[in-house]
Chains A and B, each alone.
Chain A
């Protein structure tokens, strides 16, 4: 159930590392216009290569990195073994995936860009973020009744 696989317990301020990675990611998202509603519309209309190029090269670099980590058994900076847990398929990947696709094309953002967009001054996106949190909550409420 839990996402965090590390067994180590650190003081809370160790989390500032992730704040800095987040800042880096936020800057990349905005500077590459991956947060732009216009770029999403262009992508879904097959008018530009930009989004496909970005996601494709990100996956290629990610894949190569994970392969290298596995091959050379690279450990974390705290000496922990890095292992990747396989995801189990369920029907939610299809139904939820389609629903997220609808929202993605409407609001023109995925969860990461919602946070970045608010930072760029598009304050009304706060409402979209709160609504996304509400959507997550309603999913939690209905989870047992939904097909998985």
Chain B
């Protein structure tokens, strides 16, 4: 039993994690005919908290409450993974990325996000503000404009052979590649 727990505490390889994520698609369909997706939860939160007579937020969000339970579960899963299932080792990062990040003074790898960038003090610097606040805004605006996120389009959409989802996924990747390679270095240099 202890050995099993130790195994679970290690970072999980892609060939374990990927198929498990794939199985969430039929699981949600079979337990209640739900489409796998996360970003709609952000819309339901808007509809529940601040609909402001905007037509896009005028719908019965309570019928979609399952999605809010789902993301609440993701939050709890994060707590469990970081406590009873926490990895004993820091994150293994590719040497080329380590060398690149070292130029910007990022040298700590003990949490999932670089603690030297993502912290409350940094929120008041240009670098931190752009990455956390502007980045977050683009996630929310972009996913809704695209009609879904990585789970809704890249996994659920492509699994059900929807070509608009394939287009959206290619655009997600293209945007990420442009940002990470050409724009982020400028932001990190601020």
Contacts and interface: CB of A to CB of B under 8 A. Distances in A.
Interface of A: 1-6, 12, 14-45, 47-51, 53-66, 68-69, 74, 76-78, 80, 82, 84, 86-90, 92-112, 114-125, 127-141, 143, 146
B188 to A, nearest CB: 10
A111 B24 CA distance: 16
B81 A132 contact: no
26 contacts: A3-B67, A5-B33, A19-B69, A33-B11, A37-B112, A37-B117, A38-B112, A62-B23, A62-B36, A76-B33, A87-B162, A90-B164, A95-B146, A96-B141, A99-B142, A100-B149, A101-B174, A102-B179, A102-B183, A105-B176, A111-B39, A115-B75, A135-B42, A136-B42, A137-B57, A140-B43
A87 B136 contact: no
Interface magnitude class on chain B: 35 or more
In this complex, the member of A23, A35, A93 whose beta carbon has the largest number of chain B beta carbons within 10 angstroms is: A93
Closest 7 CB pairs between A and B? Answer: A101-B175, A26-B77, A22-B73, A119-B78, A61-B22, A96-B145, A97-B171
Contacts of B67: 3, 18
A115 B70 CA distance: 10
Main secondary structure of the interface of B (DSSP, over half): helix
In this complex, the member of A15, A43, A53, A103 whose beta carbon has the largest number of chain B beta carbons within 10 angstroms is: A103
Contacts of A35: 78, 112
Contacts of A21: 24, 27-28, 31, 70, 73
Nearest to B183: A102
B32 A6 contact: yes
Contact of B123 (A4, A80, A127): A127
Contact of B18 (A42, A61, A101): A61
Given A21-B24, A30-B78, A112 B38 contact: yes
A98 B142 CA distance: 7
B8 to A, nearest CB: 7
B102 interface: no
B132 A107 contact: yes
Given A18-B73, A103-B142, A132-B137, A88 B164 contact: yes
Contact of B33 (A23, A80, A105, A146): A80
Nearest to B71: A115
Contacts of A143: 55-56
Nearest to A65: B26
B88 interface: no
Nearest to A64: B22
Contacts of A1: 59
Contacts of B30: 69, 74, 76-77, 82
A104 B139 contact: yes
Contacts of B65: 12, 15
Contacts of A28: 12, 17, 20-21, 77
A95 B14 CA distance: 30
